[in-house]
A and B are shown apart, each in its own frame.
Chain A
């Protein structure tokens, strides 16, 4: 073991009891470590109908049609990998670390092992996950799809993903995170380190579809170089116990751009603590952080932070929350920080119920109250799903309608 590895291990061990800055504290010992062995799935189409539906609901197509590649991780084991577009690399993180000596410089480079107990546990378990790399200049036509599936009861799944989009390349990723039917309780810890190099573009869509007693602690940091673009769409519409995430994008090169959208619905019993953070470390960098959240009885905390450290940085932060029930709560916490003079950071936050004049405008056209709510809610969330691949939108819109009308 090399000196730096020993060092990281020490750090992680010292942080194994360290509570996260935000969100409910989960006692790790209450969850069994998920299995690192699983039966390989040769063909996703051979999965039973129920499992196929589970995957479809998070945008993962078992047919793999129109996808550059597919990786499925069940519990703590990679059970399926297939690659149609041979110009990109897709494999498990562990396999990639063995294949590429240089990859160790990327692993645990953006996310600190001792950030909290969840990162520490993931490091100490040597968590596996997906490694995706688009070589320089390679612009993929179809997205790569990955699925992180919690397949056993009361276990903790630890995931470590690394994505590298080399210079002038373009990559689209759809990641669906979900539970197998019957798995109601568990913990998902996910480390993601993403590198968007000079002039490259990464379009990342993540759909969460958990169950009522699942705790979710993603830890994501993105590094964007000169002229690079990072686009993220995060969607969480179904009941879950607790999600706490605060992905951070570091804009490190001149003209780098980030656009992050979040749409989420907090059902009764759900606590969603969702944020996004942009750090402007280079001149002329830009970011837009948008969140649209709805509570039908759960708790939402919409955080957003922009830290301007370089001249000409420009950012806009927008958090809007709809309250559709007396029992739910919405809290918007926008933070703006300017550390040099030539900076333009703005924010817009609004929480509240559906405007009566909008409701009655639609009802005056003959829509029922339910239809009007459904239409307004879909419209409210629409801003957040603009960047989502077309074929996923129908499913998402159906979910939104059902949720809005199910109250």
Chain B
């Protein structure tokens, strides 16, 4: 589904990511761990195609197609969808209008919003004055309207209170699994995802298949995500920063 090879990314001439290799198979949910400032969000935004992030080396393949230099809307139309951590305030733009436009009029914003308990936000300006949890639900609502094949979720649990995490986590699982609980079937028919998590809380809700650790702008290693999380919880990322295993 997604294959990243030897990626090097600059912002304003400064290298943020280098030698990044990563894959997400069809129907897989992969997780990206890493300390603050490692470049996780930068990687996700690069995959989505935000123009600030300049790919100077390597490639991004999506469903076998090289999308490294495609504009962001082209990528969205091919099936990439992102949940941003800090989306911009969109004054004057009503969430209802955005959801309707994104769904191309094919889905009823009220029905989608009801599922995410967001009805009362439909007539508000997108993201303006939204709390942490409301931003996540608004992002999920937009993604539900967009119906991407590959979900890029940037810290779905950040800024969300404990009660709302359950809600957000459950909704993410619903979107990714499309009602399929069997892991084998999910890999064939479900959605693919790359999820950034700092705390690992989201792993209580989604079945993660593979984990990656990103430190100092590069992927250090990959493996079983739950085992990785256990290690990170015990030792933090210091070991990873020092680790020479993958270099």
**Residues of A with Cβ closer than 8 Å to B?**
355-358, 360-369, 371-372, 375-376, 378-383
Give every chain B residue within 8 A of A375 (Cβ-Cβ). 93, 97-98, 101
B12 within 8 A of partner (CB): no
Min Cβ gap A286→B in Å is 23
Q: Which residue of A lies closest to B93 (CB)?
A: A379
B177 within 8 A of partner (CB): no
Give every chain A residue within 8 A of B98 (Cβ-Cβ). 362, 365, 375
Give every chain A residue within 8 A of B75 (Cβ-Cβ). 364
Report whether A361 and B73 are in contact in the complex, using a CB–CB cutoff of 8 Å.
Answer: no
Encoded as 1 (CB less than 8 Å from any A CB) or 0, chain B from 30 to 68 comes to: 000000000000000000111110000000000000000
Report whether A366 and B91 are in contact in the complex, using a CB–CB cutoff of 8 Å.
Answer: no
Determine the distance from Cα of A381 to Cα of B93 in the docked complex, in whole angstroms.
Answer: 10
Min Cβ gap A50→B in Å is 32
**Residues of B with Cβ closer than 8 Å to A?**
48-52, 71-73, 75-77, 81-82, 84, 87-88, 90-93, 97-98, 101-102, 125, 142, 145-146
Report whether A380 and B92 are in contact in the complex, using a CB–CB cutoff of 8 Å.
Answer: yes
Q: A367-B102, A369-B73, A375-B101 known; A383 and B88 CB under 8 Å?
A: no
Give every chain A residue within 8 A of B51 (Cβ-Cβ). 356, 360
Report whether A368 and B73 are in contact in the complex, using a CB–CB cutoff of 8 Å.
Answer: yes
Most buried by A among B51, B90, B102: B90
Q: A380-B92, A381-B92, A382-B92 known; A364 and B73 CB under 8 Å?
A: yes
Extra pairs beyond A361-B90, A364-B81, A379-B92 (6, CB < 8 Å): A358-B88, A358-B90, A361-B84, A361-B88, A378-B92, A378-B93
Determine the distance from Cα of A369 to Cα of B51 in the docked complex, in whole angstroms.
Answer: 13
Give every chain B residue within 8 A of A372 (Cβ-Cβ). 73
Q: A356-B51, A379-B91, A379-B92 known; A363 and B84 CB under 8 Å?
A: no
Give every chain B residue within 8 A of A364 (Cβ-Cβ). 48-50, 72-73, 75-76, 81-82, 84
Give every chain A residue within 8 A of B97 (Cβ-Cβ). 375
Q: A361-B84, A375-B98 known; A367 and B92 CB under 8 Å?
A: no
Most buried by A among B72, B75, B87, B145: B72
Determine the distance from Cα of A152 to Cα of B52 in the docked complex, in whole angstroms.
Answer: 54
Min Cβ gap B227→A in Å is 33
Give every chain A residue within 8 A of B71 (Cβ-Cβ). 363
Give every chain B residue within 8 A of A366 (Cβ-Cβ). 73, 76-77, 102, 146
Determine the distance from Cα of A364 to Cα of B91 in the docked complex, in whole angstroms.
Answer: 18
**26 pairs, A vs B, C-beta closer than 8 Å:** A355-B88, A356-B51, A358-B90, A360-B50, A360-B72, A361-B88, A363-B72, A363-B76, A364-B73, A364-B76, A365-B98, A365-B101, A365-B102, A366-B73, A366-B76, A366-B77, A366-B146, A367-B101, A369-B73, A375-B97, A375-B98, A376-B90, A379-B90, A379-B125, A380-B92, A383-B92
